[in-house]
Chains A and B, each alone.
Chain A
Amino acid sequence: MDTSHITRILILCLGLYSNILSAEVKITGFASFVAGKAISGDEFLADYPKTGIYDKDWSLSPDTSVGIQLTSDISDTTSITVQLTNNGASDFETRSEWAYINYQHSSQLSIQLGRKRLPLYYYSDTFDLGYAYNWIRPPADNYTWQISHYNGISFIYEPQLSSIDILFNLYFGREDSHNNELLSLFSGVPVNETWKNIAGLVSELSGDWYEIRLAHMSSQLDREINNTQSDKDAKQSFDGISINLFYGNFTFLSEFNFYERSLADIEITTHMQSLAYTYKKFTPHITRSEFEQTINSSNGDEHHFTNSIGIRWDYKPNIAFKIQYDKTTDKGITIPVLGDAELFTLGVDIVY
């Protein structure tokens, strides 16, 4: 059953249920309207998963997105959640980011069945929710994966120790991506990608001034390039650690990730560090992110890093304006991305 079927079924259930029983459908939403242009270089790849690319002309498409989340309680312990988004990078085609049934087994354990975002990185869950972070977008070099969702089951266990919040998220699933945007862009021909037997665990420990997150995922990969099978049952794994610190007005965010697919001799490290200072409603920030593939037997050498500086203005409790400058250096020779480039973007993020 593909993604659109799952989403349609859940939307139908949600609609029928709310109509027949006059059940309340809770609506929350978000929007990011961002304009930008590459001020040097020909193109700037701002959003890897959706291939949001700026060129020398002003554009609203690469980072603009609008989302709506509908949740309805079926019973005291069961609810349906559907989140639909329109992204400019995907030609404003409506997509389901989340579509799942949630069963609250106890105050500490919940089980979700359906479609969710693949929680590899710290901001994977809220990638499109610009209001949740200081940047225009999460640092692109760190958020480079071609698969960002899965269909399956997840267990969220949240024990609590005094003021320390703990979360374990165990998940299993699969994702079939036909004509994958990122891989097709890089290959120049249609690429179909399947991640199957996905098994992952996310552990989070957080208090008011710190957050520590560990993530592990393993799966098998099938890939077809231009209808020719290039990979079959290739094992891959991802490990990541995020440490965020909040001291008074200072915020320090960091992520370090490692990806391995030994059959293809691919090892990739990505990392990001960001420092921000909040003064009243303004939060200036500086960030560095990097993607580096260990040079392998095929001379694979994708390597790029970005330095960013920007400012966020919390105009209202649910509205934030942002301006950001990014400078990317592309050091890949065998696998260049889009070359060196500088980008200027400004935008507004809203939650409602």
Chain B
Amino acid sequence: MNHINKYFNLLSQFKSCTASRLPVFLLFYFLSFPCSSGEEPVFLITGLKSEITHVSQYDLRKVYLGGTAADNPHINKPVLNKKDTELYRQFLKNIMHMTDNGYKRKVIKRIFRQGSDKIIEIHNLNELDQHLKDNPNDLSYITESDIKHMLNIRTLKKLW
């Protein structure tokens, strides 16, 4: 019980610092959500010869945070498609439920705390196509209009 009391004491110290500011913070937070209408469809992709047949939203988020997929042993590594900065931001918002800073913060902590792999970043479609040819069990995402430029990929599902 002593430890529980200590936590409450510590929490009350924190509350006294921030209680009056919390509603303002929350207001800023909810106002900060951008409108997501009018976005081009984006698909989850893997290599043409991939053994992956499905990926749950849970596993997708988990592997992009540097973790291990729960129910899909074939998933190798996630690849961030950074060809388009806006696409990257939308992926973080819609799938990871994070901002760029929040995502970087979590990934770097995990790399140095739990020995996780760095998340691969690719900045052009040709390189991404070649990467998925060489590493067919990796995952990435692309817009619908970019699919036609890719020779060595297979779409797994529409992300949004």
Q: Which residues of A come within 8 Å of B, CB atoms?
A: 26, 28, 30, 69, 71, 76, 79, 81, 83, 98, 102, 104, 106-108, 110, 125-126, 129, 131-132, 156, 158, 160, 162-163, 165, 206-209, 214, 216, 237, 239-241, 243, 245-248, 250, 252, 254, 256-258, 271, 273, 278, 351
Q: State in angstroms the CA–CA spacing of A206 and B11 once bound together.
A: 17
| Chain B contacts for A248, CB-based, 8 A | 28-29, 32
Shortest Cβ gap from A154 to chain B (Å): 10
Closest residue of A by beta carbon distance from B26: A247
**How far is the CB of A101 from the nearest CB of chain B, in Å?**
10
Q: A162 CA to B61 CA in the complex, in Å?
A: 9
Q: Judge if B1 is at the interface, Cβ distance under 8 Å.
A: no
> Nearest CB to that of B27 among chain A residues?
A247
Query: Do B101 and A278 touch across chains, with their CB atoms under 8 A apart?
Result: yes
Question: Chain A interface mostly helix, strand, loop or mixed?
Answer: strand
- Could you say which residues of chain B place their CB within 8 Å of the CB of A76? 73
CB <8 Å contact, B108 and A125: no
| Sample of 30 A–B contacts (CB below 8 Å) | A26-B117, A26-B118, A69-B111, A71-B115, A79-B115, A81-B115, A102-B115, A107-B59, A107-B67, A107-B70, A110-B114, A126-B109, A129-B112, A158-B67, A162-B97, A165-B106, A208-B99, A209-B102, A216-B3, A239-B10, A241-B14, A245-B18, A245-B25, A246-B101, A246-B102, A247-B25, A250-B25, A254-B14, A273-B17, A278-B101
Residue B7 is within 8 A (CB to CB) of chain A in the complex: yes
Which residue from chain A places its CB closest to the CB of B104 in the assembled complex?
A317
Which residues does chain A contribute within 8 Å of B160, judged by CB atoms? none
With an 8 Å Cβ cutoff, the count of chain B residues facing the other chain is 42
Q: Cβ of B109 and Cβ of A243 under 8 Å apart? A: no
Cβ-defined partner of A165 (8 Å) among B3, B65, B118: B65
- For B105, list chain A residues within 8 Å (CB): 132
Specify which of B14, B28, B73, B114 is in contact with A247 (CB 8 Å cutoff). Answer: B28
Q: Is A256 a contact partner of B13 (Cβ separation < 8 A)?
A: yes
Most central of A30, A76, A102, A256 by chain B CB within 10 Å: A256
- Which B residues, 88 to 119, have Cβ-Cβ distances below 8 Å to chain A? 96-99, 101-102, 105-106, 108-109, 111-115, 117-118
Would you call B113 and A125 a contact (CB within 8 A)?
yes
Q: A218 to chain B: closest CB distance in Å?
A: 9
Give the docked Cα–Cα distance between A88 and B118 (Å): 27
